[in-house]
Amino acid sequence: MHKLKARWDKKMSSIYNWAIALAEKPNAIYALFAISFIESSFFPIPPDIILIPMIIATPKKAWKIAGVCTLGSVIGGYFGYAIGLFLFDTVAEPILSFYGYLEQFNHFSEYYNKWGAWIVAGGGLTPFPYKVITIASGVVSLNPVIFGIASILSRGLRFYAIALILWKFGEPMKIFIEKNLAWLSTAFFALLILGFAALKFI
């Protein structure tokens, strides 16, 4: 058990150091935009894994970093919306099936148009897989303006809240993260798994 924990700690430290090294590179902002974009349409890992190290490495750019992350996520959300609207059989259905959501989708779509804005907002703030929300929005033809506003507010609130916390408590937060990296990483992946698991009960 001790050896397993030591290996996990070492692995998480390697990933964290890689993310910090990436965050300090000039092209890091483009990588963040790309991950934010694809996470909103099909990629399973949220952009926080790069967003947080980037802000820790360059706290003076916290607001720019959060803005790029929000922009990439919202634009990517419209890409997911387009997949649901125009490519359900060829693309959206396999993606929904991959995330185990296809069986529940018909039931879900019954009340989506009524509560669509709140569903998008909730999905944007929580660990719930956001790509499922964006694709579903396109499938049911949710008003694209409402979809966009809800996406901007929810994703912006999430990423700017992270930026604010890290900007305000930058160095102490960096020390805290590095000191407790193993269990924080475990909690992060646990939340991610819970987000996917939530698909089975909605």
100: three-class secondary structure by DSSP: coil
- The pLDDT, as a whole number, for residue 99 is 67
- The pLDDT, as a whole number, for residue 66 is 94
With pLDDT > 70 as the criterion, what percentage of the chain qualifies? 61
Domain borders along the chain are: 28-201
- Mean pLDDT, residues 20-29 taken together: 75
Q: At residue 160, does pLDDT exceed 70?
A: yes
- Mean pLDDT, residues 6-16 taken together: 55
Let me know: does 55 contact 166? Beta carbons within 8 Å. yes
- Mean pLDDT, residues 100-123 taken together: 69
Q: At residue 71, does pLDDT exceed 60?
A: yes
Entry pTM: 0.75
Could you tell me the pLDDT band of residue 135, with boundaries at 50, 70 and 90? confident
> How far apart (Å, rounded) are the C-alpha atoms in residues 17 and 37?
23
H helices of the chain, in order, are 2-23, 28-39, 48-57, 62-86, 93-98, 102-125, 130-139, 144-168, 170-179, 181-197
- The pLDDT, as a whole number, for residue 4 is 47
